[in-house]
Structure 1
């Protein structure tokens, strides 16, 4: 299920939805998830049966809620594509997803056997300007210190990937996964439409982590 329509220059889609606990998925990031709840398993399987293999991931306001409703979710989530899927001996799914676009959840279409939601794609913000360029350079300057934060394993490859990335916002989104931020701060960064503010906050948080 992946219906697409155009409305006032915005892309509106209907997608399977997977509620997420205790973390936030960002565009341009690759993240593994273990899926155990029945509706979420059904949503992933439905997405896998489409050509795009796309779904919507939105974070729960209350991580203890085991049967969340539409209103229990933050209203901005991320469209993602499933890159890999496997099953555990317990019947859970293990998926690797890549975040694509920020989406505004408009309304719930179905609840059973899984959530489907109508959502509007948020426009990609402009990344031009001297302030963004300066913050991009500042983030690059911090990359040399990443081994102090992460150790040596895999750091060389990560730094190389981030240095090759031309989009300042993509660099910031990928660095967020290294930060010790609570869900509310992560969600606020996802909802932030000003790339300058995203870069500022990521730079400040990463600088603090590296101290």
Structure 2
């Protein structure tokens, strides 16, 4: 006879769940350890930030699926995985909006809303990362660090210091997450990276992204070089033609009467 499923796992998950004010983000994905300025204007988001500040609590930052959606009333309108963040600073602006400095702490999963007014309060669970210590992980880290260096050298729109920073990172999860700073990464790609809790799979995802971007940048560089070479050739031909015209003018060859005289002499 099959053993009836136990409720222990569900109870353990329930024990890990707590409630926090939630801010829905538009086309922005915050990662653990990331420190970013956040400008909030929607009434519920402002109220959520203020509630978190008053309670001295962290805040849940979760990206919404449709960036142009104004009101969020259901968890299905948000991605399931977001980030728990600490509020470092809050400034109330005269136009009613709030500017905050937040620092990502850990990945979280949203299990639902406990309230939707006057602000969103979510039931969240912190996602625990486990870091393996096998050879594959070390190989992946070195590969990604080398790819970051190649990405920068190929002309990526990131500071040159990014390659040095990547080399100095010893924590594999952080190394993978730092790729989210790349402007080449879309919101959907950042969200996929955030939702990839398994560190080995996350590094593989990052490695695939970097390989693709390096290929694009190298192809772009090749095309630009070919275009420049063709432009240089065209410019040289133009200069030679102009020089020839100048010589002809000096010799009077561009004067119709002089050309007729030259023909008669011949």
User: Where on the TM-score scale, by shorter chain, does this alignment land: which range?
Assistant: 0.7 to 0.9
Q: Which has the higher helix share?
A: 2
In structure 2, what is the Cα distance between the partners aligned to 1:35 and 1:63? 14
Q: Does 1:208 align with 2:208?
A: no
Q: Does 1:25 align with 2:1?
A: no
In structure 2, what is the Cα distance between the partners aligned to 1:45 and 1:90? 16
Partner of 1:193: 197
Across the aligned residues of Structure 1 and Structure 2, the Cα RMSD in angstroms comes to 2.1
Q: Identify the match of residue 99 of structure 1 among 96, 99, 104.
A: 104
Partner of 2:156: 149
Q: Which has the higher strand share?
A: 1
TM-score (norm 1): 0.85
Partner of 1:3: none
In structure 2, what is the Cα distance between the partners aligned to 1:208 and 1:85? 39
Q: Does 1:183 align with 2:177?
A: no
**Structure 2 CA distance for partners of 1:8 and 1:112, relative to 1, 3 Å:** same
Where do 5+ consecutive residues of structure 1 fail to align?
1-6
How far does residue 114 in structure 1 lie from its aligned partner after superposition?
Answer: 0.8
Partner of 1:85: 90
TM-score (norm 2): 0.68
- Larger RCO, structures 1/2 (Cα 8 Å, 6+ apart): 1
Could you tell which deviates more after superposition, 172-181 or 55-64?
172-181
Where do 5+ consecutive residues of structure 2 fail to align?
1-10, 218-266
Say whether the 8 Å CA contact 2:114–2:121 is kept in structure 1. Answer: yes
How far does residue 159 in structure 1 lie from its aligned partner after superposition?
Answer: 4.3
Say whether the 8 Å CA contact 1:127–1:168 is kept in structure 2. Answer: no
In structure 1, what is the Cα distance between the partners aligned to 2:165 and 2:186? 26
Larger radius of gyration: 2
